[in-house]
Amino acid sequence: MDAKTRVQFYPLLKRQEGDEVMVGRPEINAFIYLPPEGVALIELLEQGKTIEETQAAFAERYGEVPDVADLITGLNECGFVARIIENGDAAAEEVPAPAPAQSPQPAAGGHFAWITQRAAAAFFSRPMLVLFGAYILGAFVITLVRPTLFPRGADQYFLNVSIVVSVLSLTVYGWAHMFIHEFFHLLAARSAGVPARLTIGRRMMTPVALTDMSGIYAAAPEQRYLPYLAGMLFDLLAMATFVYLLAFSDWGYFAMPALVYTFLKAILARVAMAFTFQFRLPLRTDLYYVLTNWLRARNLQDDTLGFLRNLWDRLLGRRPGHDLSTVPKREMWMVRMYAPILVAGLGLYWFFYVYFTIPFLVKTFPVAFRQVAGGWSANPLGFADGLVFLAMMGLEWGWLLYVTVRDRRAARTRPMVAGGAAVGD
């Protein structure tokens, strides 16, 4: 590129959001946030001005000469540049812009494209949300009247005959529930006119289903809350349904086999435990995206972790290790606001971990050890059951230890990033 170079962009969506402007191409789910000055440069280039003309017009307006070539390179990497026209001659041969370093995949219609926006919007209409709320509230009242229906961690071990069957059956249900949870995200995104796709990922050592709805940034900020919270809405609806079924059985409306009853209580406990997972904000859960959308902060996590680590260093009399001097005052105010929320979220997560997971382990591990200690000859099925369960737990914890050590080693060599960042899901 030289001073006479012109650029042609793809059609770009621009929206003012707080102090910054969102610029993006919804069809490829590519979005960035720029200061107004950056958008002014794009608009000058969109008018057909050369790099030289753009610099002159910008300098006249703002009093400084920008690096337009560097901006074009960055926008090209985002997939925003359609053509680069060399030599400043509109009639000259048009040279295609180089392929972006990481070309985003076209969103197309997303998964379940046959579901129309109108149908999805009807499902999440205000009357339906009121109905969902009443349904959930009724189940909550029932748990107050019948505290025995409140989910407990020990309920997850529901089959005394086999620990492995208990764990595997809950795992099978857990995956089915997880995909419906993600489908609610997808459906809510569709209601906002945003395509989304279901995929597989992981949270630490655990494989999980995920919803790629990075195109949500094409929607206005106030339209993003429902897609972010839709999965948790399904969790509450599922828990409410189990509470109603268990309560109606207790009240004699229908007969429920004992095994089915204990299985439903186990599922209720598992879903409740998964629901509390959303409070683990450091893993960028649903609630994390709700908070960042509310605060209009896109690098909130890293900045806040740096802030908390600096506080800890000062407490220990050490020099703070994270430079946050480049973070704008407004964002630092948000970091201070988010810090207690982050700490409280972690506290809630560990509280519920102790409430749900520890009782389950306390109940299952002694059984597994007794089965293994009894030997194969005394009870072959029991011995195999206990051995497989202990092996499953050992693999899970071994993998957790490996990931923890690996990530901590990587963190020592990776600098903390402060300030704003481009947005993606």
Residues 13-61 have pLDDT tens digits of 888 887 788 888 887 778 888 888 888 999 988 888 888 888 888 888 8
* Half-sphere exposure in the Cβ direction for 231 (13 Å, CA): 28
Average confidence (pLDDT) over 85-90:
64
Give strand pairing partners of 9: 81
Query: DSSP label at 423?
Result: B
CA distance 117 to 317: 56
| Cβ–Cβ under 8 Å, residues 213 and 189 | yes
Average confidence (pLDDT) over 75-90:
79
Instruction: Take residue 377 and report the two structure tokens written for it.
Output: 């000859």
Average confidence (pLDDT) over 162-176:
76
Interhelix angle 163-191/380-413, nearest 10 degrees = 50
pLDDT at 260 exceeding the cut of 60: yes
Q: What is the model's pLDDT at position 424?
A: 31
CA distances from 117 to 62, 106, 122, 138 (A): 43, 19, 9, 30
pTM summary value: 0.71
CA distance 181 to 165: 24
| Cβ–Cβ under 8 Å, residues 392 and 361 | no
CA distance 297 to 423: 10
Q: In the block, which residue shows the tokens 């400043």?
A: 88
| Cβ–Cβ under 8 Å, residues 151 and 274 | no
Average confidence (pLDDT) over 80-92:
71
One-letter amino acid identity for 153?
G
Q: What is the model's pLDDT at position 402?
A: 67
CA distances from 77 to 73, 74, 99, 104, 306 (A): 6, 5, 8, 10, 28
Lowest mean pLDDT among 255-264, 317-326, 348-357: 348-357
Determine what percent of the chain is predicted with pLDDT higher than 70.
83
Q: What tens digit of pLDDT does each residue of 186-225 get? A: 999 999 888 888 876 555 445 567 788 878 888 888 899 9
Nearest-10 Cα torsion for 394, 398, 399, 401: 140
Determine what percent of the chain falls in helix, strand and coil, rounding each to the nearest 5.
60, 10, 30
Q: What is the model's pLDDT at position 95?
A: 46
CA distances from 276 to 31, 347, 423 (A): 30, 11, 26
Backbone angles phi, psi at 171, to 5 degrees: -65, -45
Q: What tens digit of pLDDT does each residue of 1-26 get? A: 778 888 889 998 888 887 788 888 88
Q: What tens digit of pLDDT does each residue of 100-139 get? A: 444 444 444 678 888 888 999 999 999 999 999 999 999 9
Cβ neighbours of residue 172 closer than 8 Å, sequence gap 6 or more:
none
Query: DSSP label at 63?
Result: S
Q: What is the model's pLDDT at position 92?
A: 47
Instruction: Take residue 156 and report the two structure tokens written for it.
Output: 């997850």
